[in-house]
Chains A and B, each alone.
Chain A
Amino acid sequence: MSTRLATGGRLTDRTKQMKFRFNGQQMRGVEGDTLASALLANGQLMMGRSFKYHRPRGPVASGSEEPNALVNLGQGARFEPNQRATTTELFDGLVAASQNHWPSLQFDVGAINTHLSRFLPAGFYYKMFIHPRPLWKHVYEPFIRRSAGLGAAPDAETVDADTYEHFYTFTDVLVLGGGVAGLQAALTAARSGAQVLLLEQNAHWGGRTPVDGGEIDGKPAEQWIKDTVQALEAMGNVTLRSRTMGAGVYDHGYVLGYERLTDHAPETPGPRHRLWRIRAQQIVTATGAIERPLSFAGNDVPGVLLASAIRDYVVNYGVSIGDRTVVVTNNDDAYRTAICLHGHGLNVPVIIDARMQGGGALMAQAEALGIRVLKGKAIAKVKGTRKVTAVEICDQAGEGAVLETIPCDAVAMSGGWSPVVHLWSHCGGKLSWDEGNAFFRPDLSRAPTSHDGAPFVIPAGSANGYIQLKDTLADATTAGSSAATAAGHQPKVGTLPQVAPREEAAMLPVWLMPQGANVKLRSKAWLDFQNDVKVSDIQLAAQEGYESVEHAKRYTTLGMATDQGKLSNINGLATLSAALGEAIPSVGTTTFRPPYTPISMGSIAGQARGDIFQPVRETPLHGWHEAHGVHWEPVGQWRRPYSFVQQDETVEQSVNREVKAARDSLGLLDASTLGKIVVKGPDAGKFLDMLYTNMMSTLPVGKCRYGLMCNENGFLMDDGVVARMSDDTWLCHTTTGGAERIHAHMEEWLQTEWWDWQVYCANVTEQYAQIAVVGPNARKLLEKLGGMDVSRETLPFMQWAAGTLGGFPVRIFRISFSGELSYEIAVPASQGLALWERLHAEGAEWNATPYGTEALHILRAEKGFIMIGDETDGTVIPQDLGLGWAISKKKADYIGKRAQARSHMTDPTRWQLVGLETVDGSVLPDGALAVASGTNANGQRHTQGRVTSTYHSPTLNRGIAMGLVLNGPDRMGEVLEFTKLDGTTIPTKIVNAVFLDPEGEKQNV
């Protein structure tokens, strides 16, 4: 049984006890524990179930490569599934539960799958459930989908109680990984004067080295690490961040750092995670190496761990996995585990070394301690289901005939090491195969390159394939100084840290144990522990022609689990290449994708949540609206009043009232959201002539003109009134939704095509509040405020004037989108509210009525004015809308002119704008289509028109609509059938689109 040892635990403080719960059971740990070490200390080896066969799973590793020990962590608004126990720092009161089983971890019905595993080989679902078809839908698929997933889904109605934030920084040299290589690289780079940022995913510095021991510069490695961290902390140009993982490397030296601020202490105020967006000139990846499992039957039984992990648990946490640990290896490093266990008084019955010659100095050391070493041997099989009970030993060279059975309760396995090349590879760094060490290492000649073709990522230490401490430090020194040089600094010549060389015998690549394992053993030898992929699965994929690594991976799901194949990829790849009879490098690896380990979605979203996710834009009158019964409509980023609902009124009634008020007496509209773009400069007129279909350069100062803007394809994209302010200045009004888009459109043309034209554009939308005063009594109200002559003669329709109105500095535009006598008054935004309140109060005698967007729409529709986004949809040209009059015939060119000459654009059968009235006076549905007889070659019903906007007109007390109809203007009075969604149609008459005051008498008074 796993337990806490009497001594040891360099990261723990046994005087600080902590309580936590696992599967409802109260347990105890100590400060410095991870959840995994604390569970082990409580004898809880089994921590979960695998994905497909629901096999019992204990931890196999001690760090972020762990595939098995995943738990549901926390509760309520702080619940999180799939949390790795090996990287979860224990805190007092932690609550966790194991995953993927029912009804309990011990007794799991799904475990039946393991007995059926023969019938569920890789890709079985592609071959089954095909017939009969209805069964797939009703039985198989629901079954497959119900068994999906690992952790529980967080509650849908609970909002995350934590907050997250984004930080930005830049640096000369970014070092990822705070092991000895990272520390040494950082120190070397920092001594050159470069700005250095060093990130370490764990809470502690130094990586593996303190566990493995050894001396640097004549002192214990641990002391050297302390001293180096201290030295770095003392340097002004260095920043160190622990609990911060390098998550992804992107183009141009852009790196994502993931800092876990309060996961280890959830009660601490402040954000939980911080996402760092870093720009680095040079990136040093000092991400270390990960040990590989060995593939033998039963290598997944709880109690079989990586040799390095067993050592970690003993040294770091004072926790043992078992009393009798069999060590199995193909390299020297695992001997350290045997020696370490022995040193802690634990029994190592045997070291099984697959190499005929065995190991070097470490083997001698182990043997000297009296540990039995078997050479050229292998594990045929691990016995036990929920925990290891014994191992069967065989010859590595054979097929698995059992020579000896050794009772034990733990197995430490080592298949060699693989450099962590993920971050090197994210942005295109390539790898080369190292025969001697049987691993992929960064190919320095094919590094990720920046815009100038120069490399910007430098691997260091074990991550670069230098596994021995002496080599690691030497390589890290080189990396640090290359990075500093590349970032423009002069590295100082320093002395290399002194490390005594260690003699190690060569490792032997062992991809299957024993080498000739029969199919029975192979179908119990696991490659991917979480997804339950076996050696036999990969071999089946190869046999069936899924030969590319990507095919084999996808067919078997190897490496697609939440550990992203950190332990399984190389073993799977080797198994595949053996099955194909090809060399490993020619088969190649799968692509490494960010993030290195999963990062919270909350951190990706950052602080922009809730109210500050796309903050609402408010006009200066927003608060007033809020206080006066507003019913909001979101329009782009804005909120606009849809209508102002009074007591005992429905929304619909309020709209009708507002329309009538504007028609009969006086309406007030907050038009502040309308886009306002100032276009200025010697070439401004020329520019606007290109931008608009009509002529703007000839517009006299003081006048306004309605303009249309098309895109390159000739389609109408925006409209609005343009006013000439002075000789070289125009003010362009755009639609509410269009302001930013049109401004960008202007800039794009100016910056990419007409960069030599002297024009400036400024979006001044928010600088002004704009209020439309609308209705027969509009002039009276303005006259009452006084200060400007707003008479028909001085300020006629389509002119503007600047002055002081009732004490306010204003511009008054006499323009109308309602067909009524109308003035749009612009004031500096800060005075908007005061002007509005004044207009509202002084207008009371005419029942001044604020109105919203729906009334605005109805007022314009009654007049047959088009609305961008209703009558247009990106496929409509001005000619379709009867707006030919707004297209200048005199101009040589404007954006869209050439496109509008294309054959389809001049096709007489294009649908044209008309008015529509249902025969029974009802309101046509939005988007209804006019049906025609017959069907097309694809069996679709022919159509001959569609509704573009449709309303109930309170003025006419009937439904009115606008639409585009085939030959519409020539078919006045004809009745067409329009669709309803219930399958019926409505007879509808084609009429003039101007329903009211066709001569425009009301607006010109």
Chain B
Amino acid sequence: MATPAAPVSTIKGGAFLLEARTPQEIYSPEDFTDEHRAIAKTTEEFWAKEVGPNVEAIQQGDKALAISIVKKSAQLGLTAVTAPEEYGGMEMDMVAQMVVAEALSKDGSYSGWHGAHAGIGTTPVLLWGTPAQKEKYLTKLASAELIGAYCLSEPQAGSDALAAKTRADLSADGTHYILNGQKMWITNGGGADLYTVFAKINGEKDKFTAFLVERAWPGVQPGHEEKKMGIKGSSTTAVYFDNVKVPVENVLGEIGRGHIIAFNVLNLGRLKLGPFAVGGSKNVLAISIKYAKERMAFGQPIANFGLMQHKIAEMAIKTFAAESMTYRVVGDIENNLKGWSWKSENAANSYLKAVEEFAAECSYIKVFASETLDYVVDEGVQIHGGYGYHQDYAVERAYRDSRINRIFEGTSEINRLLATGTLLKRALRGQLPLVAAVKALQAELMAPPTLSAGALSPAEEENRMAANAKKLALLCLGAAYQRFMDKVEKEQEVMAGITDIAMNAFAIESVSLRAQKLAALGKGEMAAAMSAVFCREAMDLCEQTAKVVLSACAEGDTLRIMLASVKRLAKYEPANSIGLRRQIAEKLIVAEKYVL
């Protein structure tokens, strides 16, 4: 049994930039309980028996079948992992929810149905519903008697969701609202029974409000199925609201506070994209390794070739990084929820606060995990060569299915802007001592370099790299703020660059600490090799990005001094990453799947 992650006192979101952590303080899959493992196993079995054989039919648009599988999964409890027992939920922890998400990730279309229902389709009622609304809807969503969907985006309002035009006007007798407008790209649109719809009361900007709208009501009409690039078997439609009478009891949450629901649901969605993308990556990795072992070229399996091994290793390394980041954040959130239950006072609110605290980290996970999956499917197709381009091969579908993850739940760009924006806001509000940290760093960099205290062990070297990557982020933050002051948010390339550095610093630390944790469990060989390769590659990326960012923030000697600091901070002991990748690939090729 793994030693469980040591409880830490409350962890602040964004504080990772300022504080070092120990291997035992970060949560990782090694901390899963037997119960979590049992949940993973039963969910995988469910997928293999119920979804796997039906992937093709779901692809072909058999909605009734997809819905029947969601309903069947509800009998196992897979649609309501965290919801309270009194409403038919399993009342389990967040890790359990992530484990389920990961185990259901092998097919994007089914994940679409399941994820939209159990995630964005259910979360609003779960967290903002009144007891009466929960009684009426949550119980039926938990059992999947009702299928849920979430209607925020509109034809002219995607990233800019608050520009929504859908409006709700109170009836003269005050008993209901009249809902009018059009939503766009609604997952489960063509199969849902209950829509959470965002609209502006009287069309007023500050009256953005959520409503629970039943499909069966007159005036609610989903459009035709969109013809998509991927996740073709998921349902994506417009939904039209034409003078729909929505009883006032169906206002969800407070009037004018719809954005709070919208953004918090997205936060949770971003976090959950982590396990979905990690599970998807593991699946494509396994498919690709098996293919590489069977496919012969030049008289031998292509798995023997160095360049194929590079791909296999790199797919696993990035997956390891995404996995380590995801579960670390899940663990941090759980840590802050110690002692919490649905019976706690203001339960929903404190739950949301615990997640929102890590808004920046959730954005990192969204960006990093979706880009990892895209990398993995791309290389998966490449390993398959010409066959990877055939629709008969699962990797072709995975390639197309993956692409959406960089677009929905906030595009990669929006998340890159949000992440650093969040850190800056916290700093300005005095919640995160960034300014002090930047000042301390500047002082440190002015001082002559301290002589290194002898050779560092690989783990110590990686800890140093994590610390230095964070310093690169702080250096850039400081320079950007000095240069652009409160206009810095308008400098999108700078903001996104800082996100990339901070995100990679977070990744370096998550990976190296987890590798050390695995080493302490006697299972560290593979992870150590992965960490050695990953940390260096991510550090190179941080260095490159820091140079670009700083060059936009300073000039002349000031810039030259900064760039010298970058060089100093980004330095590391070299490692033979080609040799390490071969070692990693060899083990993966024997196992024919992601293993540590």
Same assembly: no
